[in-house]
Structure 1
Amino acid sequence: MSNSKSESCNDSDLEVFEEKSFSCDKFLIKIFTLITCIKVLLIPTYHSTDFEVHRNWLAITNSLKIDEWYTSSKSQWTLDYPPFFAWFEYALSKAAVFFDPEMLKDDNFDYASTNTKFFQRLTVMIADLFFVYGVKEVGQVFCKSNKSFVALTLLSLCNIGLLVVDHIHFQYNGFLLGVLLISIAKVSRVSSDISVLQGAMWFSILLNLKHLYLYVAPAYGVWLLRSYCLKGDKFISRFLKLGAIVIFVFCLAFGPFVHQIPQVLSRLFPFKRGLVHSYWAANAWALYAGVDKILSVIWKKAGWLDNIKVASMTGGLVQEESFTVLPTPTPLVTFLITFVMMVPALCVLFFKKEKHSNSKNFVRCVVICGLTSFMFSWHVHEKAILTAIIPLCVLSTIDINDARIFILLSSAGHAALFPLLHPVYLTPLKLFLWFAYFLGSLILFKNNFSGKTLHILEWLYLALIPGMTIYESVLHRVIFGDKLPFLPLALTSVYCAIGVSYSYIIYYCKYVFEDNAPIQNQRRKSTENSTKCELEKDA
């Protein structure tokens, strides 16, 4: 009798789980449909030079032979993404011919017909299906309630950083981050060897779509080694399986280009570019450059410097300029700093059992590695902050400490992206997006957690961000006219860099030094609940 009753309960639980999963999927589809409608409205808006970059890549992969893809230099926008992304562009070019064949001519520079705009915008929206699937996958692994899944769906699919960078500025970050989320979800299911191997395959594919995800590869390496290879007594066979998958994917990607590997690598790692990008990403080097600029002014006033390049490190497009007062870092120095700063987090993930036995700590390590590379790497793009913000979305819906860092990091990180939308008429849109996402995040977290999320000084810092955006977009021109054109960009980068750096330090310290009380409390509650259930059954 008790067995049949137990079986009946299990069947009921399964039905409830399936119903809940179906309900979550429907919500996910509804939000994706709604946000896609908003993206459609953004089709006619301003787009950056990245629009022409990707149009040129469509033309290169469609018009030229494979062995010319990474050697052609007809345009300044040469192909500099890994092979799988080149094949992705090639696949898109086969559809592009039905919209406007003129966009596929490799000598048709700066071509942007109405059909071309519509097609390229449409491809970004369709590629976002990978992002939707990635959110669904990580939601199934980490979200234990409808509330947390709803929050994850809204925070990720409505992320204003992706909206700005992909659907106005123009890129395919949602597609790439979707692949990242899929791989995170797969490797987090450590109870299933097949799922872990699938996750390793997805991450290998990601590296061959965009090589800059190498910066989070150390977190994957440590996690797979500790939670998969060293689990049980099958280290050699499991290690060989992982190695075989990685080697197979890389051979598949680079095989057609085997005779031009040096040329491909020179495109992927252009170290001749300067330390900072077209305008400073909001990282440690923005603070470093800001200090150098202040010191150069003081040095000049004191008569210690005679000839200073006015535009040095503050002239917009920075290539191989040097700092005026402070030492100029080299690519090797930035690589060593980045690697050294990652080591403590990787050691914690490897050696502390309570860390490598919990997949949430793997995601935290991915966030830390992503942030470390953003903070200290060579020639960092401002868009790279999304590599940390999007995975942090997952944890912010289930832990109040992660939620606090998410609000700070996303608010500062998203504001740092706004200078990408430099037309003045987009200022109201930028402010509306920032306020809507910020307030939406606060409401979701208040609904999910009890207690205060932010401290008073953190509130004060965030309160000044809209004013900074207004100054950068409007007030600077009113006050200074055409003078000091790079000043508002520098101020934006430095101010946002303070918030990003603060978030990075707090999050890193909590990861390395926090005690295990929360985990132990969860285990104790789980044990108490199990005991209570057994007593009820006996009764």
Structure 2
Amino acid sequence: MKDPKKQTPITTHTSPYNPITELTWFALVVACVKLLLAPAYHSTDFEVHRHWLALTRTLPLSQWYSDNTSPWTLDYPPFFAHFERFLSLFARLVDPTIVDLHKGLNYSSPSVIIFQRISVIVSDTALMYGVYRLTRNLESRKRILICVLVVWSPGLLIVDHVHFQYNGFLLGILLLSLSFLEEGKDLMGGFLFAVLLCFKHLFAVAAPVYFVYLFRHYCRGGFVRGFGRLVMMGVVVAVVFAAAYGPFVYHGQIHQVLRRMFPFGRGLCHAYWAPNFWVFYIIFDKVLAFLLAKLGFNIQAPTASFTGGLVGDSSPFAVLPQITPLITFMMVLLAISPCLIKAWRDPQPRMITRWVAYAYTCGFLFGWHVHEKASLHFVIPLAIVALRSMEDARHYFLLSIVSCYSLFPLLFEAQEYPIKVLLLLLHSILMWFGFSSQFKTTAAKASAPGQKRGDKVGKNWSSSTVAKKGGFVVRWIEKSYLLGLLVVETWGQFLHPILLGNRFPFLPLMIISIYCALGMMYSWIWQLRWIIRSR
């Protein structure tokens, strides 16, 4: 007879399926959707990456960053160039014209479209593995919902599998790095982050967080041991960067590589304004210029217009001080500083994903020439922590919708309109039902018979009570903001063409940027407040 006092150990997983089985199923389903999107619109980034296939296949390494055969010159770090070189080995077997540096210019046959689309789908394996490592110890319900948020992310589908890029592959490396840091394997986490920087240097915004965290968490334990670990980490990072940039130093091309990677002459803002702080700065400058001109002041209008929709050095302001790359760098560093202080005082592995996501949020809001696609850098990591509390889920629900909607202008052709709308609606519905189910369960556990308010499980009593009564709840101000997105879309898509015709063609994009920037600023303030109050 069993001893009634003995308790059966509680296992972490409640599903009969293991994490790999679940994730494989999600990956296969989303792969089918990605294949259906293959014939859809693709941007000039498609030709950019096709040209890089040909460039790295045809030319010697010493000419990769100096070739001007096409306007789409190589401007990613060396590891990504080697990645393109690796893909070119298979592209040549599919269609030799793909890797022909001269004949393949603007080549868009079905063979190249299918090959490049499939290359993105296959490279997303890194994203799948990163999600697996970060969720493998969670219970099944949470694991499945995080897979929905990341693997079925509408933003990634829009940017990578319609617009065309390789963000899923790169974000997979980031998630892998974070998974090792959360497990306390700092050396491997630092190594993978160094590898990521050699694939895409824009991820360097989180480098200060990594440095402070690793210095305080990994390099502790006395002077001798700490110094030894510091040297070990330094050697690992140096080896990675030497492998990436060493050959170009040897060939005397390192200055050309850096010049291509940091083209500061492109201006403060991209063609379509990323919804960040500089949107308000630009608008305020225009309002001041208009008012001062009405008052009789001689205001010199900027030679380059921010509302022209062009990529270039559109930095001049009529009234406000000019913004330089150095100013944006200092603002990003200042915005990140509360996070760095927290990481210095108490480097907790469970906090690293939040800190890194916050750093990328700061880079998005205050950085130089920010692309709207950079919102994925913090939206995807925040999905990993979205289920830790009702507040996290509520914040993520708003942020992910705003981020996805801000990407809508990337798909501007009529035939893609139903695709992006349907993706966002499905994502919102899945999030709503997923969060509602998760926090109803949490409420039931927290308010079980005999449960006291002072018990450890019931610390967040108010949130659990709300979840029990109505499941996942969004505040009225957040609901009002989300309804405003519908108003903005109705104006830009239907009312503007009817009322204004072809006048002010950039106005709908400007309204989207301004309105989405309000949501992004809200997210930044929410994250900052959470980090300051966390213990």
* TM-score (ref. length: structure 1): 0.88
> 1:245 aligned to 2:239?
no
1:287-309 alpha-carbon deviations (Å, 9 max, x no partner): 21122233333333444345535
Q: Does structure 2 retain, via aligned residues, the 8 Å contact 1:165–1:383?
A: yes
Q: Does structure 2 retain, via aligned residues, the 8 Å contact 1:290–1:490?
A: no
> 1:94 aligned to 2:85?
no
> 1:81 aligned to 2:76?
yes
Letter in 2 for 1:104: V
Corresponding residue of 1:315: 308
Corresponding residue of 2:469: none
- C-alpha deviation, 1:474, in angstroms: 3.9
The 3-state SS of whatever aligns with 1:98 is helix
Letter in 2 for 1:260: Q
Query: Which of 278, 286, 309 is matched with 1:293 structurally?
Result: 286
Sort the Cα spacing of 1:101 and 1:289 in 2 relative to 1 into closer, same or farther, 3 A.
same
The 3-state SS of whatever aligns with 2:134 is helix
> 1:168 aligned to 2:162?
yes
* TM-score (ref. length: structure 2): 0.89
> 1:136 aligned to 2:135?
no
Q: For this pair of structures, how many residues does the alignment match?
A: 499
What stretches of structure 1 move > 4 A for 4+ residues in a row? 16-22
Letter in 2 for 1:93: S
Moved more, 216-225 or 114-123: 216-225
Query: Which of 284, 297, 302 is matched with 1:304 structurally?
Result: 297
| Alignment partners' CA distance in 2, 1:245 and 1:18 | 35
Letter in 2 for 1:178: G
> 1:149 aligned to 2:159?
no
Q: Does structure 2 retain, via aligned residues, the 8 Å contact 1:147–1:448?
A: yes
Please list, as runs of the form range in 1=range in 2, the aligned pairs for 1:50-449 lying within 5 A after superposition. 50-107=45-102, 108-140=104-136, 144-190=138-184, 195-231=185-221, 234-258=225-249, 259-305=252-298, 307-309=300-302, 312-321=305-314, 322-351=316-345, 353=346, 356-357=347-348, 359-449=349-439
| Alignment partners' CA distance in 1, 2:436 and 2:154 | 20
Task: Please tell me the root mean square deviation across aligned C-alpha atoms, in Å.
Answer: 2.2
The 3-state SS of whatever aligns with 1:229 is coil
Sort the Cα spacing of 1:444 and 1:479 in 2 relative to 1 into closer, same or farther, 3 A.
same
| Alignment partners' CA distance in 1, 2:474 and 2:222 | 43
| Alignment partners' CA distance in 1, 2:50 and 2:166 | 13
Q: Which runs of 5+ in 2 are unaligned?
A: 440-463, 467-471
Corresponding residue of 2:478: 458
1:481-538 alpha-carbon deviations (Å, 9 max, x no partner): 2211111111101100000001101210121124x4xxxxxxxxxxxxxxxxxxxxxx
Letter in 1 for 2:310: L
Letter in 2 for 1:50: D
Letter in 1 for 2:115: F
The 3-state SS of whatever aligns with 2:265 is coil
Q: Does structure 2 retain, via aligned residues, the 8 Å contact 1:403–1:453?
A: no
| Alignment partners' CA distance in 2, 1:59 and 1:365 | 39
| Alignment partners' CA distance in 2, 1:435 and 1:378 | 32
Q: Does structure 1 retain, via aligned residues, the 8 Å contact 2:12–2:138?
A: no
Corresponding residue of 1:43: 38
| Alignment partners' CA distance in 1, 2:369 and 2:16 | 42
- C-alpha deviation, 1:479, in angstroms: 2.4
Q: Does structure 2 retain, via aligned residues, the 8 Å contact 1:55–1:103?
A: yes
Sort the Cα spacing of 1:496 and 1:19 in 2 relative to 1 into closer, same or farther, 3 A.
closer
1:237-266 alpha-carbon deviations (Å, 9 max, x no partner): 211111111001111111211121111011
Corresponding residue of 1:493: 513
Query: Which of 3, 10, 24 is matched with 2:19 structurally?
Result: 24
Sort the Cα spacing of 1:232 and 1:25 in 2 relative to 1 into closer, same or farther, 3 A.
farther
Corresponding residue of 1:535: none
Q: Which runs of 5+ in 1 are unaligned?
A: 517-539
Moved more, 289-298 or 205-214: 289-298
1:89-133 alpha-carbon deviations (Å, 9 max, x no partner): 000011001222112122232111111111111100000010000
The 3-state SS of whatever aligns with 1:264 is helix
- C-alpha deviation, 1:472, in angstroms: 2.8
More helix per residue = 1
| Alignment partners' CA distance in 1, 2:195 and 2:286 | 41
